[in-house]
Amino acid sequence: MFDIKWIRDNAATFDEGLRRRGLEPQAASLIALDEKRRALLTSLQEAQSQRNAASKEIGKAKATKDEATASRLMTEVAELKQSIAKGEEDERQLDAEIRDALSVIPNTPREEVPFGTDETGNVEVRKVGTPGTFDFTPKQHFEIGEALGLMDFEAAQKISGARFVVTKGAIARLERAIGSFMLDLHTGEFGYTEVNPPLLVKDQAAYGTGNLPKFAEDLFKTTNDFWLIPTAEISLTNLVRESILDEAQLPMRMTAWTPCFRSEAGAAGRDTRGMIRQHQFSKVELVSVVTPEKALEEHERMTSCAEEVLKRLGLPFRTMLLCTGDMGFASQKTYDIEVWLPGQNTYREISSCSVCGDFQARRMDARFRPKDGGKPVYVHTLNGSGLAVGRTLIAVLENYQQADGSVIIPDALRPYMGGLAQIQKA
């Protein structure tokens, strides 16, 4: 969410940011709406002053028994009252029009973000690990899971439809082990506080992070007007909504392992087999709330925390700086971490780490009071996957598969698997 005053003062900068996003300029139309609103406010103030003055004159006229003047003034006050009421309604409509227009405008990218129209414009920042070689044709995760008898898409189809899966036995435990490992790493070594947040949120919470109103079709809604979270980012970030923190409370670093729910409305025909793109999946989310000066430093730190999960699991990956055309709605700058999947012979996204500036904070009215005693200013927010648990399960299955169909358990996960070193068909 942008401040209309900032747009008035920085119209060219605002429009340039939109241009880099592939959007048309909007500063002039927004400023025109705001000018109309400001002119209306001025006329309302004048009308209110006239009404107050006329009301005083009524008392004077009655005191001198000048009934004709009093009657004329009372008619004038009544007309002004009607005019003010209409003006106030017009003001509410203009306020809503400006708010609605601003609410669907994405955040503008930072200068260092490369220009591009789609994922082909993304830039590789680093590559870690070398994809392993196999003396057999590596299978995709769903082939491995089904052959082991521990991954059942047909049963899920009968229960819930497409884009769901039932995992069983050692693979179900492996997914639980991965989530537990991630939480222990982020809380034990990286200073994140574990949170168990609500999975159902109100409109204003989804609005605060930028999921509403623009992306309603990507979400699931209950019959009593709750939204199922597509990521714990919504719940965690909104923990600071409508609050004024002390600077000493920052940075706040939070993590949560939750189920996530997405309609995948725009993914028709994509990744229809397997667990890559599902309606229900689990993810360990990372959220940071910081001062503006620390935001970029925190972004690098958060990304390194997510990368460390893959390093500990021995999974090859690369980190990409997303271009302007591939970033998320609320992001100023985003790193995508892509893990190597030998079954697909390609890298696939497993984490997205974004710095949002004060974009979400303005929508949530989340501020902090500087330690020097100045007036409260908006916090800066960041979010990232640390990591997507289901996709990490996919990566483990594919990278650690063996010729006989079994899967070696990475060393880091064996304590969570009761010491089990290998998943084999029973």
- Choosing from 16, 76, 264, 349, which is the catalytic residue? 349
Question: Angle, nearest 10°, between helix axes 67-103 and 27-63?
Answer: 160
Distance CA 182, CA 351 (A): 13
Residue 208: name the closest of 377, 365, 367, 364 by CA. Answer: 364
Q: Give the active site residue among 288, 352, 354, 385.
A: 352
Catalytic residue at 273? no
SS3 261: strand
> Of these residues, 262, 301, 363, 367, which one is catalytic?
262
- 210-233 exposure pattern, b = at least 16 Cβ within 10 A, e = fewer: bbbeebeeebeeeeeebbbbbbbb
Distance CA 337, CA 335 (A): 6
Q: Is 71 a catalytic residue?
A: no
Q: Cα(361)–Cα(2) distance, rounded to whole angstroms?
A: 10
Which residue among 277, 348, 369, 414 is the active-site one? 277
Q: Are 318 and 303 in contact (CB under 8 A)?
A: no
241 classed as catalytic: no
- How do beta strands 166-167 and 151-152 pair? antiparallel
Question: Tokens at residue 263, please?
Answer: 């309609």
SS3 151: strand
Asked about 312 being catalytic, the answer comes back as no
Phi-psi region of 128 (alpha: psi -120 to 50; beta: other; left: phi over 0): beta
As separate numbers, helices (DSSP H) first and strands (DSSP E) second, the chain gives 12, 18
Identify whether the C-beta of residue 392 lies closer than 8 Å to the C-beta of residue 141.
no
Q: Which residues are catalytic?
A: 262, 277, 349, 352, 391
